[in-house]
A and B are shown apart, each in its own frame.
Chain A
Amino acid sequence: MLFNSIDFAIFLPIVFILYWFVTNNSLKLQNFLIVAASYLFYGWWDWRFLALILFSTLVDYTIGQQLRNEENKLKRKTLLWISILVNLGFLGFFKYYNFFLDNFISAFSFFGQEIQGNSLNIILPVGISFYTFQTLSYTIDVYKRKLEPTKDFIAFSAFVSFFPQLVAGPIERATHLLPQFYHKRTFDYSKAVDGMRQILWGLFKKMVIADNCAECANQIFNNSADMNGSTLVLGALFFTFQIYGDFSGYSDIAIGTSRLFGFDLMQNFKFPYFSRDIAEFWRRWHISLSTWFRDYLYIPLGGSRGGTLMKVRNTFIIFIVSGFWHGANWTFIVWGALNAIYFLPLLLTNNNRNNIATVAQGKLLPTLKELAHMLLTFGLTVFAWIFFRAENMGHAYSYISEIFSFSLFEIPKFAGMGMATITIILVGLFVLIEWKGREGQYAISHLGIKWSPPLRYAMYYAIIIAIFWFGGKEQEFLYFQF
C-alpha cells in the first residue's frame, strides 16, 4: 500500500479509530492491532512475502530468547551468526543472486573460461533491506547486552513490522523503538497535530516535488543520447530533487503517521542539500542508514581509530557497502566509492566534524563562504547522483561525457520543457521553504505556528491544493526498490 494512495487514505483513519477507540484499554490489543494492520499494509502489495517477515520475526525472537540465558561466548557468537546469516541470506538471495551470478560468469569468460548459470526471475520483496537491518539491530544489541531480549512476541512482531516505517524506513534501532511498544500510549493532541503537519509536508515533497521532477528526469535520462550537455545537467538536478523529495517525503509521512499512534521515530533527513561539506551531508542524509552502518559496521571494523590505511579501508568499506545496499548494480558501488573519495580528504585532515550546527543558525542568509561551500557540496552530490540514476556504467559514462562537452553551453532543450519550467518554479519555492525551516524537524514544523489561525489554515489549504493540483497519478516511492 502506498502512502500516496486512496487505499492508504482509507486504511489510516480506520486503523486510527480502532487504535484509539476500540483497543485503547489494552496494550496487548493495541500492539496486536498494529501487527494486524502492518501485515495488511504489507500484504496489500504481495501477501506471499508476509511469510518472509514472519520467518524473520520468529528467527530473531527465538535467538533473542536463547541469548537471554546463554553465557557461553562461543554459543552466543554462533547464535548471532545464525541471525546474521538468515537475514542477510534472504537479502542476498532476493537482491543479489542474479548480480553475483552474472558477474561470476562475466569474470570467468574474461579469463577464457565459459561457465553456465541460470539467472532466476526473482521478485524483490518490498522493503526487505529495511526490515532486515531493523531485526538485525535487535539481535546485535541483545548480543552486545545493550538491550534486554523481549519476552513479548506481539510487541516484537509489532517492532519488526510497524507499518509506517516497514517498507522504506527510517530503519529504527531496537533500543529506541522496541521499548515504546512496552508502554501504554496516551493520545497527545499536540503530537498528533504535529504528525498531521509532517504528513502534509511529506505528501507535498513526494507528490509535488518528487513526482514532477521524476517526469522531467526520466525523460532526460531515458533519452540522454539525444540531449545536449546543459539539458543533461538539468536532468541530474531534477533527479537530485526527485530522490530527496521522494525519500525524505516518505520519511516525513512515516514519522508523522507514527506520531498519530503515539510513537516517536528518529529523524531521517536534516536538510542535507544545505550541507557545507560531504561529511555534513552524510550526517544529514538517510541518517538511520548511515548511523546503522556506523554502529554495526564502521565501529566494529575499528572506525577511525587506527592508522591512515585503516581509516581509508574502513571508509571505503562503509561507503561501498552503503552503495551496494541500494541495489545490485555497479552504478551504486561507484556512487558509494565516489562519496568515499569525497569524504576521505576531510577525514584524513581531521576536518570531518567542522560543520556540526545548522548553517547560518539564527540568521536569514548564509555568509558568502558558507554559500560557496554549500554550492560546492551540492555540485559534488549532483555529480554522484548521475551514477545512482544511470542504468549502467556505460550510460553514466556517456551521460557525463556529454556534459563535459561544448554542448554544455547550449540552451537546455527537451520535449517536456514546458513542464520543466513549472517544476523549476516549484523546486525554487520548495528550496526557499526548506531554507526558512531548516532549524526544525521538518521545513514547516514551525512555519506559521505564531500566525493567526485563518492565515495558518490558509497555508495548509494552499499546500493541499498544490498537492492536488500538481500531484499526478500515484507513483511508487523510489526507495521501495532498495
Chain B
Amino acid sequence: MKLFIIKIIFAGVIPLSLVFTISYLWSTNIIEKGSYFSIPNEIHSVILGHSHSACAFNDSIIDGFYNLSQNTEGYPYTYFKAQKIIEDNKHVKNIFIEYTNNQITPWASNRIYGIYLDINVPRIFPVADKKFILKSFYKSGNISDITNAIIKSYKSNLEFIISGKRNYLEEFWHNNITPQHVFSADTSHMPLDFYFKSSEINFGKNFIDIYSVHRENLIYLFKMKALCKKHKVNLFLIRSPLPQHVSFSNESTFINIKETFFSDIAFLDFKDYPMNLCFFADNQHLNRKGGIEFSHFFNDSIVPNGLIDKSSLLKKAK
C-alpha cells in the first residue's frame, strides 16, 4: 500500500505538478515580457467592454478603431487589457469603455470571479495582476471553475508559443470576437414578442447598495480613469444602442454614478439611438446586421463630426 501511494505521488503527482508549474510560469513570463501586444499604427482608438460593445462596433467599418470587447468581461479584466495596450502602443490616443446598466449591478461579480471566471481569466492571464487572479480564485470558491481557468490559460499560453504566432492581442482579443450566437441571431422573421418579452429589465433592489455589492467592478473603472490620465490617453464611456422600448430599473442610479464619479469623462450614450428591432438579437444586444448598421452610422456621422473629441463632447453634454 505504502509503495503504491509513494509511486503515485513520486512518479505521478510530483513530476507532473513540477512540469506543469514550471512550464506555466515560463510560458506566462515569455508572453508577458514579449512584444506580442502591438496594434497597427493607423489605429488610434480602442473600444473595450463586454458583449454589448462587442456586438455594436464592427471595427472593419470604423476607421482607426479597434474593438477588443469580449463577452462577459468585467472591468478588472478590461483594466488589465487597457494597461497593456496603452503601455505597448503609444499611438493609441483614445480608449472607449462600455459603461452600461448591467455593469453596476451586483450580478457584475459574475464577470469578475463568478460563473464567468473560466472565460475571463484565460483571455488575459499573461497580462493580469497575479495577486488579483489569486484573490478572484479565493472568492470564487468553485474548484472546478478555478481548475478550468488555470488549465485553459495554460493551454492558451502553450498553443500561442508552439504555434509561433506573433500577436497575442490579435489571437485572443481581436480575432476572438464574441458572442457568435448573438451576432448570428436573425430576428427579422420573428414575432416581436418572441425575443422582446419584457420592456423593463429589473435588476432587483440590491443595485442601490453600490458600495457593498459591485464596488470592485467600479473600482477598476476608477483605476482605468487614473491609468488614462497618467498616460495622457483620452477616456470615453459609451453605452451601446438598446431597443427603444427597453428601460432599466437602475437607470437613475446608473446616471447618478456617472455624474458623481465620472463627470469629467465624456459619455457617448447611444441607448436611445433609433434602430429597428430587427437589428437586435435580444433585449440587450445588436445582432450582426445591427452592428454593421450602427458602425456605419458611427463611422460616417460621429467620427468625422468630431464627437469623439473629448472637449467638444463634454461641452455638448453641458
Contact = CB atoms under 8 A, between A and B. Distances in A.
Partners in one complex: yes
Nearest to A16: B5
Interface stretch (B48-56, B75-83, B141-149): B141-149
A6 B144 contact: yes
Nearest to A196: B8
Interface in B1-43: 1, 3-4, 7-8, 11-12, 15-16
Contact of A464 (B3, B4, B16, B155): B16
Interface in B256-291: none
B151 interface: yes
Contacts of A461: 15-16
Contact of B144 (A7, A20, A196): A7
B1 A10 contact: no
B4 A192 contact: yes
A193 B4 contact: yes
Nearest to B147: A6
Interface stretch (A94-102, A312-320, A347-355, A466-474): A466-474
A108 interface: no
A6 B143 contact: yes
A20 B144 CA distance: 27
B97 to A, nearest CB: 29
B143 A473 contact: no
B114 to A, nearest CB: 16
Contacts of A10: 143
Contacts of A192: 4
Contact of A469 (B3, B11, B144, B155): B155
A189 interface: yes
A68 B184 CA distance: 66
A5 interface: yes
Interface string A183-196: 00001010011001
Nearest to B1: A187
Contact of A457 (B11, B143, B148): B11
A5 B147 CA distance: 10
A189 B148 CA distance: 32
Chain A's interface: helix, strand, loop or mixed, by majority?
Answer: helix
A441 B145 CA distance: 35
A298 to B, nearest CB: 42
A305 B82 CA distance: 78
B1 A473 contact: no
Contacts of B155: 469
A193 B12 CA distance: 12
B3 A474 contact: no
A192 B12 CA distance: 15
Interface in A155-206: 187, 189, 192-193, 196
A20 B148 contact: no
A192 B148 CA distance: 28
Contacts of B151: 468
Contact of B4 (A7, A189, A460, A473): A189
Interface string A7-34: 1001000000000100000000000000
Contacts of B7: 193
Interface string B79-109: 0000000000000000000000000000000
Contacts of B118: 473
B18 to A, nearest CB: 12
A470 to B, nearest CB: 10
Q: Name the residue in B1, B11, B148 with the highest tally of chain A Cβ atoms < 10 Å from its Cβ.
A: B1
Nearest to B20: A468
Given A5-B144, A7-B144, A461-B16, A189 B11 contact: no
Nearest to B118: A473
A20 B118 CA distance: 36
Contact of A473 (B3, B15, B148): B148
Contacts of A457: 11
A457 B7 CA distance: 11
Contacts of A20: 1
A187 B147 CA distance: 31
A1 to B, nearest CB: 11
A302 B294 CA distance: 73
Interface in A98-116: none
Nearest to A21: B1
Contact of A189 (B3, B12, B15, B143): B3
Interface string B136-179: 00000001100110010001000000000000000000000000
Contacts of B15: 461
A472 B58 CA distance: 30
A7 B145 CA distance: 11
A193 B11 CA distance: 12
A56 B145 CA distance: 35
Contacts of A468: 151
A78 to B, nearest CB: 48
Contacts of B143: 6-7, 10
Contacts of B8: 196
B3 to A, nearest CB: 6
A187 B1 CA distance: 7
Contacts of B147: 6
A413 to B, nearest CB: 18
Nearest to B19: A461
Nearest to B158: A469
Contacts of A193: 4, 7
B229 to A, nearest CB: 40
A196 B12 CA distance: 11
28 contacts: A5-B144, A6-B143, A6-B144, A6-B147, A7-B143, A7-B144, A10-B143, A20-B1, A187-B1, A187-B4, A189-B1, A189-B3, A189-B4, A192-B4, A193-B4, A193-B7, A196-B8, A457-B11, A460-B12, A461-B15, A461-B16, A464-B16, A468-B151, A469-B155, A473-B118, A473-B148, A474-B144, A474-B148
Interface of A: 5-7, 10, 20, 187, 189, 192-193, 196, 457, 460-461, 464, 468-469, 473-474
Closest 4 pairs between A and B when the two form their complex, measured CB to CB: A187-B1, A6-B147, A6-B143, A6-B144
Given A10-B143, A460-B12, 15 more contacts: A6-B144, A6-B147, A20-B1, A187-B1, A187-B4, A189-B1, A189-B4, A193-B4, A196-B8, A461-B15, A461-B16, A464-B16, A469-B155, A473-B148, A474-B144
